[in-house]
Amino acid sequence: MHEEKIHYWRAPSHPELEISRASFQHFHFEPHVHLDFHIGVVSHGGQDFHYRGQTWHLRPHWLSTLDPDSSHDGQSSEQQGYCALVMSLPHDWLQQLARDLGLGYFSFAAPMLHHPALYREFCQLHHLLTQPIAANDLLVPEAAVIAFLEKLLRLHGRQLNTERQPHTLSQSQLDRLREAFHADPGAPFRLPQLAKELDLSQYQLLRQFRQRTGMTPHAYLKRIRLEYAKKALLRGDSVISVAQQVGFFDQSHLNKAFKRAFLLSPQAFQRRML
């Protein structure tokens, strides 16, 4: 395994899902976040990643289960690299499924789960969703996705209390800041202005944000801009328009950042997914 490569799919049965398969040997994911829930496995090799202050070792027969907006990185743990199969599920879509199952508002109980049977089922489901399928056979993958997710959520989900809880001042401020980033990722945010609005020094803002997310505000904002860029590309927006929407200086800057994060250009991603 010597080539860094990644492939993306949208399944006709579930166009809201993003399916990917990647082979990495030397590529290292910098700390980043996602807008969606991510479920993944490695079929060969192994991956190490840092998540919420701990180091995790993903191997075959384990599932990786990551909540949205949670910082993590990733790199090969073995010289020969690894192959990863990943499914990205929109936050609201999966939360609605959890409510339909009577599970309420949930998150994953941990970032990894050792379960060989579910691991095999996920690999089979991933294969099913990446194959051509006739329009009159879509009930098969539709039922398979729900069956797998029901097992996973009942086994590995935890219900969250949606009532407002008292927070420390710094936590409340950082929540407001993240909400502002998501509400308008293309806005020209400036550190002095943000710190002033939150009644913090610039140093306090940088320190508290990094303690909470594992990333600097700039790194966090850049990543969610790329995540929203993917969403806009999936809507069919032009690359030039997307660059303007999410706050990149021009198309060239978006191309460079997108390829560094996802190993292919925005145009190639859009051609693959539409």
Domain locations in the chain as residue ranges: 5-159, 169-273
Angle between helices 202-213 and 217-234 (to 10 degrees): 60
pLDDT of 202 higher than 90: no
DSSP codes, 130-191: TS---GGGTHHHHHHHHHHHHHHHHHHEEEPP-S-----HHHHHHHHHHHHHHH-TTS---H
Distance CA 148, CA 143 (A): 9
The number of beta carbons lying within 10 Å of the beta carbon of residue 91 is: 14
The pLDDT-based confidence of 136 (bands split at 50, 70, 90) is confident
CB of 31 closer than 8 Å to CB of 50: yes
pLDDT given at position 185: 93
pLDDT of 266 higher than 60: yes
The answer to whether 5-159 and 169-273 have equal CATH topology is no
pLDDT given at position 110: 96
What would the CATH number be for the domain defined by 169-273?
A: 1.10.10.60
Its pTM surpasses 0.85: no
Question: Helix (H, G, I), strand (E, B), or coil: what is residue 235?
Answer: coil
Q: 162-182 pLDDT, tens per residue?
A: 443 333 346 777 788 888 999
State the average pLDDT over residues 236-250.
Answer: 95
> How far is Cα of residue 160 from the mean position of the Cα atoms in its chain?
20
Superfamily of domain 5-159: Jelly Rolls (2.60.120.10)
pLDDT given at position 163: 44
